[in-house]
A and B are shown apart, each in its own frame.
Chain A
Amino acid sequence: MVKQRGLNPLSGVAVAALVGCLGLAGTANAAALHMAWSQDATGLDPQKQTAFSSIRLLELIYEPLVRLDDKLAVVPAVAKSWDFAPDGLSLTFHLDPKAAFSDGTLVTSADVKASFVRLLDEKTGAAARSNYLSIASIETPDAQTVTFKLSQPDVPILAAMAGVNAAILPASAIADGSVGTKALGSGPFELKSWDPNAKEVLVANPNWAGGKVGVDEIDISVLPDETAILAALRAGQIDMALLNDPLVATLVPGVAGLKLDRTPSISYNVLQLNPSRGAMQDVKVRQAMSCAIDRKAVLDTAALGEGQVTGPITVPAYATDPSTLFCYKPDLAMAKKLMAEAGFANGFSATVIAATGEPATAAAEAQVLQSQLAQIGIKLDIKMMELNVYVDAWLKGDFDMAVALNGGRPDPYTMYNRYWTKTGNLQKVANYVDDTLDTDMNSARVETDPAKRKAIFADFEKHITEVSPWIWLFTPYTYVAERSNVAGFVPTPTGTLFGLSAVTLK
C-alpha cells in the first residue's frame, strides 16, 4: 500500500517521458545537415586558433589563398593561380575575381595584404607566424594580384599558406578589431550562431565563389561523450559525426544504416624521448628502445589496429616505406645487445607522461609501451596528466619520455623544422641537436625540385630513425560516421571538413 502510493505517480512520469522522447527524436529539417562532434572550437580568430577542433570549424567559414585536396596537392581557393619567381625569392598570387566575403564584398589584394600584415604582427600573437617569417614585403600591383617578396628561398611556404591560419580576412574587420568576435569569411558557410561547448549553426554562404553548396544549413551539436554520439546516430538524431576513439568508431560499421569513413591522417603517434636525460643520452639506448618496440602491436592493442605504422614523414608524397627503416621489425636480441653495449644490461627506470584522453588512445599506448620496454629491463612509470598540465610540462621539455599525438603538415619541412633545426622554436622540446638533420631541413627549404626534395627527406628519415631521438609509432585514422542519407563527403588526410561543401542529403 505504502509502496504503490509512491510508485504510481512516478511510473506515470516515466511513460510521459518516453512518449516525449519518441515524439522529439529525428525531427530533421530536409535541407539541414545535423552533425555532432565531441570537442568544440575554442575561438573564432582563424589566425590565432591552432586547435584542430577550432580549425575544422573555421575552415568552413574562412578561406586561405590556396587549399589542399584529398591527395594533399595544392589547389586554388581565394587565389585561382600562383607562381614562384625562378630565383625563388618571390611568390605571386592571382585572386579569383568572384571571391567574396559572405556579406557580398569582394576579396581584394588589400584584404590579403592586411591579413598577412596582421598575421606577422607580433602583437596579434599568432603562433603560425613562424611559418611565414621569410616574407620580407607584400606588394599589391592591382586589386587581383598579390606578390610576396621573400628574404630567402622558401618552397614550403606555399603549402603553409594552405592552412586556415593564413586565412584571408576582410581588411575592414581587421581595422575595426572585430576579428574573433564576428566570423566574416569567404568560405562556403556562414556562422549563424555559436553557443560554445553546446551548439553551432552554419548556413550556406550565397556569395561563395565555389558555387552552390549541397545543404542549406549545418547544425552541429557538441556531444562530449562519443558513446552518446553513436547513440544519437543510431536514433537518427544526427546524420553525421566526427569520432576520435577507435573503440567507438569501430562499432559504427556494425550498425545498420551507418557507414564509416576512415582516412589515414598525417598526424602521428610518437614516443618522444628526451635525449638530454639519463640513459637516453646514449644513442645505443635509444636504438635499443626503437628495436624493442613492436609498433604494430602498439597499434593493434591500443587502437584496435586502426591506423598505419609510420616513419617520421607521414605525407604520402615524401614518405619512405616504413619497413625499410631502422629496426621497424622488432628485434629483441639486437635491443638487448645494444643495451648491454651501452652499459645498461640491467635496464633503467624512467617516467613517461601522457595526456588524459588526448589522444583517446594515449593511456593504452603508454601501457603497451611500458610492457614492451620491460622486456629489455626498462621500467617505465606512467604519469597521466590533464591536457594543459601536460602541455605545460611538454613545452618546458620537462619529461623523460612523452606519449604524444603531434599534428602533421602537408610539407615535411613545415612539420619538422621547429624540432630538428638548430634554430627551431621547439628545439628545447626535442632537446636534440644533430648536424645532419639541420642540414637536411635547410636544404629542403630552398630546394624547388620535388624529386630532389624527396631524396633529401628520405635521407632525413633514415638518419633520424637511426639516431632515434623519438620513436615514431603510427598514424591514426580520422573517422567520419554518416547515416546512409548523406552523400558526397570527401575526407582528406588533414582532417578538414571542407568536403562538407559538396555534401547532399537524400
Chain B
Amino acid sequence: MTLLSVSGLHVGFGRDPKAGEVVRGVSFDLAAGQTLAIVGESGSGKSVTALSLNRLVDFGGGTITEGSIRLTRADGDVLEVTQADEAAMTRVRGAEIGMIFQEPMTSLNPVLTVGAQMEEAFRLHRGLAGAAARAAAKDALDRVRIPDVARRLGDYPHQLSGGMLQRVMIASVLACNPRLLIADEPTTALDVTVQAQIMALLGELKQETGMAMIFITHDIGLVAGIADRVMVMQDGRAVEQGALAEVLDHPQHDYTRHLLHAVPHFANGRAARQDGPRAGGAAAAPVLTVQDLVVRFPVKRRMFARAKGEIHAVERVSFDLVPGETLGIVGESGSGKSTAARAILGLVRSRGTLALPGADTRAGASQRPVQMVFQNPYASLNPRLTVESLLAEPVIATGHGIDDAVRARMAQLLARVDLPTNCLGRYPHEFSGGQRQRLCIARALMLNPSVVVLDEAVSALDVSVQARVLELLVDLQREFGLAYLFISHDMAVVERIAHRIAVVHAGQIVEIGDAAAVLSAPRHSYTRRLISAVPNIDRRHVRFTLDTSTVGSLLRPPGYEPPMADWVQVGPDHRARAEDTA
C-alpha cells in the first residue's frame, strides 16, 4: 500500500518562489513500513523536500509551486497535502507524520521541561492530561531507554546531552504512533558512538511499530545500515533512486558514483597513508615535541571562595611530530582534543613542555612556526574583512608592512589552494564553505609555518568537498614539508590523512602509533568501541547494540594528581595505555 506519493514537487523561496526554486521536480512513492533514505549534500534540496511533506516549509518562507503530495491517512482517505489548509495540516502533523531534526540541542524548547514537551504530544493527539499524560511520557522515555526517567522528566533540555535529547525527540515523536517518521540528519551533530546508538534505536523502533521512515543524510555510509530504498539528490533534483543494494552496488549516475567512491569511507586502516617520514625508520629531528601537556580549569563556587576543584581537560599528553608528518588526534566531543590544540597555540593556559627544535633551522623560518586552521570556516573568518585583509593579518601581526613581496605571496598561495587570484577584494560570504577553508589554509601558510594544527578542519564541509580539501592538504604537506596535527572525530577522514594516530579519551591519550596499525588492530577498548561505531557501506542492515555508558566527570579535587599510566608496546610504532582487565 502506498503511504505517500510525491510527484513533480517544486518548492521555491522568497517573494518570487518560481525564480527562487530549490526543489525542482522530485517524485517518489513510499509504501507503509518502508524506509527511504534521501542522500545529498547541502543545497541539494533534501531537507526542503522533507519539510514540504508536512508543509512546515511554509513557516520558513517557502512555497510549493508545483506538484502533488498525496498522503494516505489512517482512515484510508487520501489527503492532497499541497492543497490542505493549515487546520488540516495541524491534525496531520505529529499524529500521522512525525519529524526529528538535526540539532537536538536547539530543537527542544529551552524554557520548558522535557516532561512538559513530551506531555504536549499526548495532550494534542491523544487527549491525555495531567497524571495520565505524565505516565504516558514516562513510558515513552522508557521505550527509548533513557535511564532514570522520573528525574529526567523534570529536567530542562540544557541538562541533557545531545544523544539523550535526540532520544527524547524520538520518544516524543513516537508518542502518537505516526505512520511516517521523517528524520532530517538526526545524527549529524552527534558523536560517532552516540550516532551508532541512535541508529540502533531507530532501527529497532521501526521494526516494532512498522512505521515508514524517510531518512535524510549527507552520509551515504550511514544509509547502508537502515534504508530499504535510496534516493540521491543534487541541485533540487532526484538524480537516482532505487533499492538499497541497487544504488550502492550498481550506481547509475555519476554523482552517486562520486559519492560512493571519491568520498572518504572508513576502511579499517586499509586506506591509511604509507608515505610517512618515519616509514624508513630514519626519522628526521622532530619539529614539535610535546611533553606532559596538562590543562586544568578551576571550578569556583563563589567569588571569593577557593576553587572547589579542577576539570582535568588535558592530562599528561605527550607526542612528537617530524617534518612532513601528520599526527591524527581522534576522540569524541569533550575528550580534550581541541583543548590540547589550543594549548599548543597558547590560547589556553597549560603546563608541560612544548619544544620546537629545528623549527628555525629551515630557510626563511617564521617567527610563528605553529599555525592553526579552525573547524568552522564560517566562524574563523571575520565576515567583515576582505580576503586581502584576512591574508594580511598574520603579516601585520609580526609588525611587517604590506609590500609587494607580501602581495606576491598572497597571490601565490591563493593560486596554490585553487582560489582565483583576483578575489582579494571579496568578502568571505561570497565563497562556499570549501573555498573558505582553503582561504583559512592559505592564511595559515602566510607566515611559512613548520607545523599546522588542523582542528576539525574538514568536519563542517560537505563530503565531496572534504575529499578535495584533504587532497590539497596532502599536496601542500609534500610541497612545503609541513607537519600536521590533525584533530578530528571522523575516523574515515583521519584514515585518509594521518601517518600516525593518537586516540584521546577523557583528556588522555589511550593509544598512539602508526595509523594503519592503530586502525587495523586497535588494542585499547575505547579505540575498539570507537572503530566499531563507524558506519560503513559494507555493513548493511546491521543491528547496533544499545549502550548507555557515559564518560565520567573530569572534575577532580584541588591538588589531585592522577597516577602515572602504564603503557603497553603493541608494535614497532604502536603503544596503548594498559587497562584494568578486572
Q: State yes or no: do A and B touch (Cβ within 8 Å).
A: no
